[in-house]
Amino acid sequence: MVRIHVWGVGPEAPPTIELAQILLKAEPGGESGWSRRFAPLRDAIGKEFHSASREEADLFIYGRYYEFGAQTKEMAETAARRGVPCLFFKWGDDPAPPVVPWGILVRHSILSGRRLANEMAAPAYCDDLLNDSGGAVPELAFSKTPRLGFCGYTSTMTLRLIYRLCGRVRKAEGLALRAGLLRILERSPGITCDFQPQRNFTGPEKGLVKNAPETEQLARRQFLESILRNDYTLCVRGAGNFSYRFYETLAAGRVPLFINTDCVLPYDDEIDWRKHCVWVEKSEMSRAGEILAEFHSRQTPDSMRAMQLANRRLWQEYLTPLTFYRNLFRKFMRAKPMRQA
């Protein structure tokens, strides 16, 4: 049992971090897709984790998105006096390194070249894409030619320009990167491309109403089917320097074609990520199709199936909300509070 003290919350400052909301019973639950992702974590409260006073806690977490200031400093100093770890969380797309003079900061969007010594990457939590099959990874007939899928938003040159003019430069850059990669890959010999680029928010179909339930259901079904029917899925950053699609591909037991844009992936000191994806550095983007074809030429039906099952297992054991936190606490329970070098 891990005893956790949630710091920095109150009537005027409700928790914004999901774990803190669940520990303090301040999140509504419900049947939304986002809530379902946290159901196993919610079930573990009281069994694996519970809320505790600062005197009894094994570790401290800050219950709101991290901001440098007196309150976070007080939490870190108290944790240091007690000799327990303190964890901060900062979700969002901004890759700029924040000021973190103490504690451990967990966040999504990190640039490896600017990573702080006390930063680690969090996964983007996704639904269990195999929930309908009871978690069984569907088998694909082995093909000598790799099948590469992508179903997602790329927008248009005009929209990307509008994003830039509105100050959403990172979003425009991410969409342009996706669109450029699709063009490169479509011209690459030796691979079969199954691309459904969405040039508007309503998905591949025209004439649909944005945010209508039937539109969202269709887009989601097309997205899921694209991942499941292909050996590989193109995974590249969006507005932030991380990809939701990367984790969804792993959850489905498929293989990411991962474009490394100076990314930091979760537990990179424990997981050999190159064993779980086809790794392409951004500087090698023009050869992405060739790299994929070379990788696939070395595979057999057995090796592909083993990789699919390993990816599903990796997602289950490290990348769901419950297993991410379980491993996070294991990692730092005995760690001394960290200070930035």
CATH dotted code for 131-316: 3.40.50.450
Question: What pLDDT, on a 0 to 100 scale, did the predictor assign at position 28?
Answer: 59
| Percent above pLDDT 90 for the chain | 82
Angle of CA points 91, 100, 59, to nearest 5°: 75
CATH for 2-125+320-332, among 3.30.70, 2.40.50, 3.40.50, 1.20.58? 3.40.50
Which range in 160-164, 202-206, 306-310, 337-341 is most confidently predicted, on average pLDDT? 306-310
For range 226-238, the mean pLDDT? 97
Please report the pLDDT score of residue 201 as a whole number.
53
State pLDDT tens for residues 257-311. Answer: 999 999 999 999 999 999 999 999 999 999 999 999 999 999 999 999 999 999 9
Q: Cα separation of 205 and 341, whole Å? A: 52
Do the domains 2-125+320-332 and 131-316 sit in the same CATH topology, yes or no?
A: yes
Average pLDDT over residues 202-207: 48
Q: What is the pLDDT of residue 172?
A: 95
Domain ranges in the chain are 2-125+320-332, 131-316
Which one-letter amino acid corresponds to residue 90?
K
Which residues does 214 contact at the CB level (< 8 Å), separation at least 6? 208
The C-alpha atoms of residue 136 and residue 9 are separated, in whole angstroms, by 40
Note the Cα 33 to chain centre separation in Å.
15
pLDDT of residue 336: 47
Confidence label for 318 from pLDDT (cuts 50, 70 and 90): very high
89-134 pLDDT, tens digit per residue, is: 999 999 998 999 989 999 999 999 999 999 999 999 999 999 888 8
Q: Residue 120 half-sphere exposure, CB side, CA atoms within 13 Å?
A: 19
- Partnered with residue 89 across adjacent β-strands are 106
User: 329 vs 205, which has greater pLDDT?
Assistant: 329
* pTM, two decimal places: 0.92
Q: Which residue has the tokens 């009281």?
A: 46
Residue from 286, 39, 292, 287 nearest 145 by CA? 292
